Amino acid sequence: MASSHRPLRVLTLASTFPAVAGDGTPSFVRDLAVGMAPDAETLILVPAVPGGAPEENGDGVSVRRYRFFFRRWEDVAAGALLENVRSRRSRLLQVPPLFIAQFFAVRRAVREHRPDVIHAHWIIPQGIVARWAARGVPTVVTTLGGDLYALRDPVSRALKRSVLRRAKAVTVMNEDMRSIAISLGADAATTSVRPMGAQVAQFAAAAAARGAARSGPVRLLAVGRLVEKKGFHVLLDALAGLPADRWELTIVGDGPERAALESRADGLPVTFAGQLTREELSRADAEADVAVFPSVRAASGDQDGLPVALLEAMASGCAVVVSDLPGLDEAVVDGESGVIVRSGDVEDLRAALARLIGDAALRSRLGAAAAERAQQYDVASVARGYLELLREAAGR
């Protein structure tokens, strides 16, 4: 066993990762690794994406990107892998090469980095590759929702079962996901709910600097990739029934549903801001009065586990409205730190928004309580918990 006096060596595997730090791509994998430094020496191994350097070092972590396809078309990992494949089926051609390239990249990283433990984000593909390429290294598997809720065909279920049964520990975003993971063979004793952390301090500081509230329409904000499971179509339908001079909505994010959503929003006071950097997003959260997360179950079975964007909005002191899906309804206490509505129910969402738009005192009270509740999801605290879990899995 390695000495307990040196930092824990962690090999982190992921498929969603920023090309450049702070570029707006979800960065919870990087944030977690940074939060564990200097007590952990982490090498993050991720697929190549347009604009991403082959290697980079900073904030106490190292990042290595492996090539897997012709550079001109190598984009399946730019954002969310599963959603990218669904939006353009030709990207399926990139998936087998990605598996193969990741296999050899993991083998090389194990030889060179000599990790005490592997942290695989997502069961498929990272958990599978870790099992094949690094059989002797204990592995902790974190699933964020997409691979667990979707990919329900017999082959995918068998692959997920093989990974979960052999993992030293499994972490999930909510209790519903924990039940599903256990039903697939994960050990109940080592399967826990551990959401990803949010940069609570950064978003709270941006909110504190925003100054006095301005008059005018209530500012609504929706953040997320423009895909079915985010439920932005439900939000636009709900807002279409409210007086357009009382509110304005900013939608942050990009994705395959953008054109359809822009058409749906025609004539409404809606701005599509596209993907923002983290600094820009912190300002957008700070300027918002209400943040809305109207998530739904997609036709594929995919759904949110617990969006980090929700935790960031709460940290900013926004009054939040969320669907009653697992994870979201665990982060928010209805009527205390936000409002919970029935998923996919346009009328229920419209009524909740109308109430918040018309009641500034209610928005203020819910926003203050949300900011306080967000403290428990601060990335520094979450990182400490993951460090202890990885140490235990490594036998340290």
- Tens of pLDDT, residue by residue over 191-249, are 999 999 999 999 999 998 876 566 789 999 999 999 999 999 999 999 999 999 999 99
- Report whether pLDDT(146) > 70: yes
**Cα separation of 156 and 154, whole Å?**
6
Residue 350 lies in a domain: yes
Residue 3 lies in a domain: no
Identify whether residues 243 and 385 lie together within a single domain. no
* Structural element, H or E, at residue 170: strand 169-172
pLDDT digits (tens, 9 = 90+) for 83-136: 888 888 899 999 999 999 999 999 999 999 999 999 999 999 999 999 999 999
- Report whether pLDDT(290) > 70: yes
In three state form, how does the secondary structure of 252-295 look? ECCCCCHHHHHHHCCCCCEEEEECCCHHHHHHHHHHCCEEEECC
Identify whether residues 354 and 382 lie together within a single domain. no
Which two three-digit tokens encode residue 343? 């998923």
The CATH number covering residue 369 comes to 3.40.50.2000
Count of domains forming the chain: 2
Identify whether residues 174 and 237 lie together within a single domain. no
Identify whether residues 165 and 265 lie together within a single domain. no
With a pLDDT cut of 90, the percent of the chain lying above it is 85
Q: Which domain holds residue 71?
A: 8-197+378-394
Task: Please count the other Cβ atoms lying within 10 Å of the Cβ belonging to residue 376.
Answer: 13
Identify whether residues 367 and 383 lie together within a single domain. no
Identify whether residues 186 and 238 lie together within a single domain. no
Residue 302 lies in a domain: yes
Identify whether residues 316 and 290 lie together within a single domain. yes
Identify whether residues 250 and 336 lie together within a single domain. yes
- Lowest-confidence range among 83-92, 102-111, 165-174, 349-358? 83-92
Residue 2 lies in a domain: no
Identify whether residues 140 and 257 lie together within a single domain. no
Identify whether residues 184 and 307 lie together within a single domain. no
Return the C-alpha torsion angle 163, 164, 170, 172, nearest 10. Answer: 100
